[in-house]
Amino acid sequence: MNIVTLKPSKEKSLLRRHPWVYANAIDRVEGKPAAGATVVVRAHDGRFLARAAYSPHSQIRARVWSFDENEPIDHAFFKRRVQRAVAHRDAMVSGTGAVRLIFGEADGLPGLIVDRYVEDGGSGRGQLVCQFMAAGVEAWKDAIVGALTAATGCPNVYERSDVSIREKEGLEQITGLLAGDEPPGTIVTSENGVRYHVDVRNGHKTGFYVDQRDNRALVQTFARERDVLNCFCYTGGFSLAALKGGAKRVVSIDSSGDALATAQKNVEANGFDAARAAWLDADAFKTLRRLHEEGERFDLVVLDPPKFAASREHVDRAARAYKDINLTGLKLLRPGGLLFTYSCSGAIDADLFQKIVAGAAADARVDARILKRLGAGVDHPLLTAFPEGEYLKGLLLQIA
């Protein structure tokens, strides 16, 4: 048996059911656990705390599978966890062809992300796309894939484990087919009455920003007869939602020509008037400042940038970047205008993000009020003991 014994008093977080064990909390390791091997975690006095996946290369040295001493970690364990996660989504999410089926620690499967895409008007079985981001789920990959196909009835599973966090786990970045047929060039799926082309093999994340579904619906609700600016638009998620909601004009900015080409295909797929949509292949920071200098004004602005802070070492630089875009975004709004602003940087917590935006509002000399705090949908649940899971933070602001 592989046993990890913690230093005195280092069991407190596990007693609160936090699912990570850091390397500096460990006193000793008995046995020679390989990457992904199951270990028993004990307090310094020998008390059982958890069964966990061992990761010898990561500062997160163990990720908890179970706090139940009597629950073995075997194929049946993964079958139960996957079935439970899929059942929760089937019960709680409807009206969309893109769903997060498994969200890592929140579903008791740390390091695993699984999204399901169903073709618009298709059979309903769809395409599963997985990211295995930790040594534990990597070691149990075959069991997890088998559990996924059984629980969903979907035979097609594609891997997008091309994420840098794998390198911290001592794993290579990889992509490829895990089960069934190769995915098509794009999958056309629908969400809130809008059709989107999704490239699961080459697109960002698993091909689409599933986590912003509820926020796109909110933009759709508020877009009618408004001039809309969408920065870092990628394939046009918020832009399409605004057009569906009846926006007068939508200006979208992204630095990827390929993403913008897909966005324009999305306009055609929905039969929207292309004259209402302008696509700018440009740097968002520079373009925001240029639009302000040229006297452009909008009724609704969306700021959904990529992750600015990959770790806590980058927080100060990221804070300056978030303040920069929010400052200019606020200046571009007409009186009564709405700002949808987001951070997906896990190292920037919700309180800090609000302080950054408040500082931007002060410097912009506008009175801004928070109408709503924003986050991911119900298919991205958060463990009360694991605040690190709340990577997506957002605010809906209105200026006077």
- Residues with Cβ within 8 Å of 261's Cβ and at least 6 positions away in sequence, in order, are none
Q: Return the number of other C-beta atoms located less than 10 Å from residue 82's C-beta.
A: 27
Say which of 130, 231, 233, 344 is annotated catalytic: 344
Concerning whether 344 is annotated as a catalytic residue, the answer is yes
Q: Strands 3-6, 38-42: parallel, antiparallel or unpaired by DSSP?
A: parallel
**CA triplet 357, 362, 363: central angle to 5 degrees?**
95
Give the separation between CA 272 and CA 236, rounded to whole angstroms: 13
Strands, E assignment, 344-391 = 368-374
- Residues with Cβ within 8 Å of 101's Cβ and at least 6 positions away in sequence, in order, are 85, 86, 89, 114, 115, 116, 128, 148, 152, 379
Give the separation between CA 251 and CA 227, rounded to whole angstroms: 8
Residue showing tokens 């987001």 = 342
Give the separation between CA 232 and CA 235, rounded to whole angstroms: 9
Helix, strand, coil percentages in the chain from 3-state DSSP, rounded to 5:
35, 30, 35
- Active-site residue set: 344
